[in-house]
Amino acid sequence: MDAVGHFFHSIPFDLIVIQTVNGIVAGMILALIASGLTLIFGIMDVVNFAHGELFMLGAYMGVIVVASTGNFWLGLVASALIVAIIGAAIQIVTLRPLIGRDPLNTILATFGISLVLQNYALWQFGPVSRKIPEPISSHFTLFYLEYPWYRIVIAVLSAAIIGGFWLFLKYGKYGIWIRATAQDRVMAQAMGIPVPWVYTGVFAIGAAMAAASGVLFAPTTGVDHSMGLDWVLKAFIVVVVGGMGNLGGSIAAAIFVSLLESYAAIWMDPSQAVIVSFVVLILTLLFRPTGLFVSTPR
Amino acid sequence: MTTTTPLDKTLPLGKTGLSHSTIFWVGFCVVIAVLAAAPLMLPEFWRRFLTEVLIWGLLAMSSDLLIGYTGMISFGHSAFFGLGMYGAGAALLLVSPPNLWLAILFGLAGAAGAALFVAYFSTRLRDIYFAITTLIFSQIFYVIIFTWTNVTGGENGLIFTRPHLSIPFVYDARFTTTTMHWFVLAVVTASYLILRRVTQSPFGMVLQSIRENEPRTRAIGYPVARYKMVSVMLSGLFAGLAGVLYAVQNEFAAPNFVYFLTSGDTVIYNVIGGIGTLVGPIVGAGFFQLARELLARLFGDQFPYLIPLGLVFIVMIIFLPQGLLGFARRWLNR
C-alpha cells in the first residue's frame, strides 16, 4: 500500500499537464508532415524518402524569406509555394519516368533525391543552424512556466491546414480527381482525368505541407541540414502505426506517438524517449501489422 | 527486382569455345592475383584505400543477397555492420591479449543478434514496408549505442588496439598494411565464394523465386517467411563480418557507422555496381570511393561529393537500373 501511495505521489501532475500540451503541439506538426507522406503513398504508391528534406528545405526557404521581408506569415506562404514548385519539378523529372516500374525503384530514387537535397543544403547554408524569430512573442502562465502562445498557434494552424486539405479532398473538383485516381487509376484516366498531372499535383501538395510544417517548426528550434531525417523517421513510424495511406489514422497516430514520447521525456532523457515510439512501432508490427487506427482489417 | 530483366545476349566470350566455368575461374584467379599483388606496388595510402574498398564491398555484397536475390531492399545494414564493429571492439577490449578470431566471433555474435531481431519483425512485411522498418530498426540500435555511454563510449566510440594476425601454433605476427590487405582479401574472397554457392543452391533458387513472385512461391508450399528470415540473418552475418574487418583495420568503433548514412551508402554501392551480381556491389563500392576521393582532391575536402554522386545514382535508377555490371548479370550467375 505504501509503495502504491508513494508511486502516485511521485507522479508530478503539473509536469504531466505541461507534457500533454507539448505532446499535442509536436503531434500536430508531425501530423502535418505525415499526412503529406501518407497522401503521396496512398495515391502514388511512392514512399517519399525525400519528405524530410522537403520539410528542411521549407524551413530554409522560410529563413530566407523572413530574413529579407521580416514577415513570418509571408514566409510561411512563400515557402510552401516555392517548395511545392520544387516538388512538382522533382516529381516530373525523376518520378514520372518510374511510373509503372517496380515500387522499389521509387524508394531508391527518392532516397537519391534526399541525399542531393540534404547535401545541397549543407553546401549552400553551411553546418551552423539558423533561426527564425517567433512571430508571436506573448506568453501565458502554465504552472511555473511562461508558455509561449506561438506553440498553441502552431497546433491550431497545423490542424487548420489539415482540415482545409480534408475539405479540399472531399468537396473540391481537383480533390475529387485525386480521390478518383487513388481508387482506380485506369478508370480515372478513362474518364478524362489527367492522371500523371494528378500525381504531380499530389506530390506538390505533399511538398507544400511538409514545407509549411518546416516553417512553423523553425522558430521552436534551429534549422539545419540534418533536421529532415529525424522527422521523416518519426513520420514513417506514424504512417506505419496509423495504417499506410490512411489519413485519419496517421493524424491519430501522430498525436498518440508524440504524447507517449513527451510523457516518456518526464522520466528519461529526451534523446532516449525516441525509443518509446520505436517500441510502439514494434508492438504494432507484432499485433496489428495493418496499423493501429484501421477499423476494419484490410 | 522484377524490372531488371537480364539481357538475353550472351557475352562475346562465349564464342571462344572455352566452357563457361573455365572462363569464369580463370577470370576469378586473375582478379584475385591482381588484388593480391596490388599492395606490393601501391603506395601506403592507396593500399589502405583498396583494403577499405574490399571491406565496403563485402558489406555491399552482403546486402546484395537481400536486394538482388530476395528482392528486399534493406536500409538497415548499418546496424549489422555496427554491431559487428562493437562486438569486435568488446572482444578486443575485454580479453587480453587481444585475439583476432575471438573478435570475429564476438562481432558475428553481435551482428547475428541484431539480425535475428530485425529479421523476426521486418520479414512480416514486404517491399516498401520492409525497407522502412529496417531503417527504423537500425536507428534503434544507433540510439542505443549513442546514448548508452557507459558501455559503448557514446559519441566517442571505442578505441582499441589491433590484434596480431595469428594462426594457432603456426603463425603469429603484427599486422602490416600488406598482410592486413591479404587477410581482408582472403575473407572477402571466401565470403564471395560462400555467397555465390548459397545463391546457386536450391535455397538461393527459392530466394530468387520469392523475388520474382512471392505469392506463387508461397502457393507452391515453401515457408516464405522462414526463407526470408534466414536470408536476412545470412546477410546480417556477412555485414557483421565487414564490420569486424573495418574495426580491426581502423582500431576503433564509432556510432557514425551505425547511423543511417552507412546503410544508404551500401544501397548506393549496390545500385551503381549492379544488383544481383555479388561482384557488382564491390565494383560499385570501388567506383563510389574512388569518385569521392578524386572529387575531394579536385575540389577540396569540403566539396559535397554526395551531390554529383547522388545525381549519378538517380540517373542510373532511371536509365540504367541494372548498374555497371548489369550486362554480365546472367553470365556471372551461371
Looking at residue B290, its amino acid is L
pLDDT for B63? 93
Confidence of residue A209 (pLDDT cuts 50, 70, 90): very high
Who wins on pLDDT, B3 or A9?
A9
Min CA distance, A34 vs chain B (Å)?
Answer: 14
Cell (9 digits) for B113: 543478434
CB pair distance less than 8 Å for A102 and B147: no
CB pair distance less than 8 Å for A107 and B124: no
Q: What CATH number does the domain located at A13-287 have?
A: 1.10.3470
For residue A38, the chain B residues in CB contact (below 8 A) are: none
CB pair distance less than 8 Å for A271 and B129: no
How, if at all, do strands A145-148 and B171-173 pair? unpaired
Helix spans in chain B (H): 20-41, 44-64, 77-94, 100-122, 127-147, 149-152, 177-200, 202-212, 214-220, 224-250, 260-273, 279-299, 306-319, 329-332
pLDDT for B6? 46
Cell (9 digits) for B47: 593500399
By Cβ distance, the residue of B124, B146, B310 closest to A112 is B310
- Which residue is listed with cell 504512417? A239
Nearest CA in chain A to B313: A112
Looking at residue A203, its amino acid is F
pLDDT for A4? 63
pLDDT for A219? 86
Give the residues across from A85 on adjacent strands.
Answer: none
pLDDT for A3? 62
Q: Are B118 and B263 in contact (CB under 8 A)?
A: no
Give the residues across from B158 on adjacent strands.
Answer: B253
Residue A139 Cα distances to A142, A144, A147, A155, A216, angstroms = 9, 12, 5, 15, 17
By Cβ distance, the residue of A105, A233, A275 closest to B317 is A105
pLDDT for B2? 45
| Residue B220: CB atoms within 10 Å | 11
CB pair distance less than 8 Å for A119 and B307: yes
CB pair distance less than 8 Å for B146 and A271: yes
**Whether A283 contacts chain B with CB within 8 A:** no
Q: What count of Cα atoms within 13 Å lies in the side-chain half-sphere of residue B291? A: 19
A-B contacts at Cβ under 8 angstroms:
106
Q: Select the residue from B1, B118, B128, B259 to test the A interface by mutation, using most A Cβ atoms within 10 A.
A: B128
Between CA B92 and CA B162 the distance in angstroms is: 8
* Residue whose C-alpha is closest to residue A257's, from A49, A38, A19, A23: A23
CB pair distance less than 8 Å for B73 and A289: no
pLDDT for B15? 54
Q: Select the residue from B63, B318, B319, B322 to test the A interface by mutation, using most A Cβ atoms within 10 A.
A: B318
Interface of A with B in 37-56 (CB under 8 A): 41, 47
For residue B131, the chain A residues in CB contact (below 8 A) are: 47, 104, 107
Interface of A with B in 115-144 (CB under 8 A): 115-116, 118-120, 122-123
SS3 readout for A201-222:
HHHHHHHHHHHHHHHHHCCCCC
By Cβ distance, the residue of B260, B306, B314 closest to A109 is B314
pLDDT for A298? 42
CB pair distance less than 8 Å for A240 and B147: no
Instruction: Please give the angle made by the CA atoms of A228, A233 and A239, to the nearest 5 degrees.
Output: 120
pLDDT for B80? 94
Residues of B with a Cβ under 8 Å from any A Cβ are: 1-3, 71, 73, 75, 121-122, 124-125, 127-129, 131-133, 135-137, 139-140, 143-144, 146-147, 260, 264, 267, 271, 304, 306-307, 309-311, 313-314, 317-318, 321
**Whether A233 contacts chain B with CB within 8 A:** yes
CB pair distance less than 8 Å for A120 and B136: no
- Asked whether residue A1 carries a pLDDT value surpassing 70, the answer given is no
- Return averaged pLDDT per consecutive 10 residues of chain B, 334 residues in all: 46 62 87 88 88 94 91 90 92 84 91 91 77 86 86 83 78 82 93 93 92 90 91 94 92 88 91 88 93 89 86 89 77 75
Cell (9 digits) for A253: 497516430
pTM over 0.90: no
Over the stretch A169-188, which tens digit does the pLDDT of each residue have? 889 889 899 888 888 888 88
**Whether A99 contacts chain B with CB within 8 A:** no
How, if at all, do strands B165-167 and B171-173 pair? antiparallel
Residue B108 Cα distances to B86, B153, B184, B234, angstroms = 10, 20, 16, 11
Instruction: Please give the angle made by the CA atoms of B273, B279 and B283, to the nearest 5 degrees.
Output: 45
For residue B225, the chain A residues in CB contact (below 8 A) are: none
Handedness of CA B313, B316, B317, B323 (dihedral sign): negative
CB pair distance less than 8 Å for A289 and B125: yes
Confidence of residue A2 (pLDDT cuts 50, 70, 90): low
Between CA B257 and CA B268 the distance in angstroms is: 16
* Residue whose C-alpha is closest to residue A112's, from B272, B278, B292: B272
pLDDT for A281? 83
CB pair distance less than 8 Å for B314 and A94: yes
Nearest CA in chain A to B132: A236
For residue A125, the chain B residues in CB contact (below 8 A) are: none
For A81, counting Cβ atoms within 10 Å of its Cβ (0-12 exposed, 13-18 middle, 19+ buried), the class is middle
CB pair distance less than 8 Å for A285 and B124: yes
Contacts of residue B35, Cβ cutoff 8 Å, sequence gap at least 6: B50, B54, B185
Over the stretch A224-275, which tens digit does the pLDDT of each residue have? 888 888 888 888 888 888 877 788 888 899 999 999 988 888 887 777 777 8
Between CA A38 and CA B36 the distance in angstroms is: 50
pLDDT for A295? 59
For residue A275, the chain B residues in CB contact (below 8 A) are: 140, 143-144
Omega of the bond prior to B39 within 30 degrees of 0, cis?
no
Mean pLDDT, residues A69-86 taken together: 92
Between CA B51 and CA A265 the distance in angstroms is: 44
CB pair distance less than 8 Å for A244 and B129: yes
Mean pLDDT, residues A131-143 taken together: 80
CA gyration radius, chain A: 20
Cell (9 digits) for A233: 523517421
CB pair distance less than 8 Å for B311 and A120: no
- Asked whether residue A11 carries a pLDDT value surpassing 80, the answer given is no
- Helix (H) / strand (E) containing B159: strand B158-159
pLDDT for A105? 85
Residue B134 Cα distances to A153, A242, A259, B121, angstroms = 36, 18, 24, 9
CB pair distance less than 8 Å for B306 and A282: no
* Domains in chain B: ranges and CATH: 18-267 (1.10.3470)
pLDDT for B230? 93
The DSSP output letter for A91 is I
Contacts of residue A275, Cβ cutoff 8 Å, sequence gap at least 6: A264, B140, B143, B144
The three-state secondary structure class of B173 is: strand
Looking at residue B179, its amino acid is T
* Residue whose C-alpha is closest to residue A278's, from A291, A265, A260: A260
CB pair distance less than 8 Å for B128 and A271: no
The DSSP line for B16-47 is: GSS-HHHHHHHHHHHHHHHHHHHHHHS-HHHH
The predicted complex's ipTM stands at 0.83
By Cβ distance, the residue of A112, A115, A285 closest to B121 is A285
Between CA A219 and CA A263 the distance in angstroms is: 23
CB pair distance less than 8 Å for B140 and A275: yes
Q: Are B198 and B65 in contact (CB under 8 A)?
A: yes
pLDDT for A8? 62
Percent of chain A with pLDDT over 70: 95
pLDDT for B325? 79
Over the stretch A21-59, which tens digit does the pLDDT of each residue have? 888 998 999 999 999 888 888 888 888 889 999 999 999
Confidence of residue A5 (pLDDT cuts 50, 70, 90): low
Q: What count of Cα atoms within 13 Å lies in the side-chain half-sphere of residue A143? A: 9
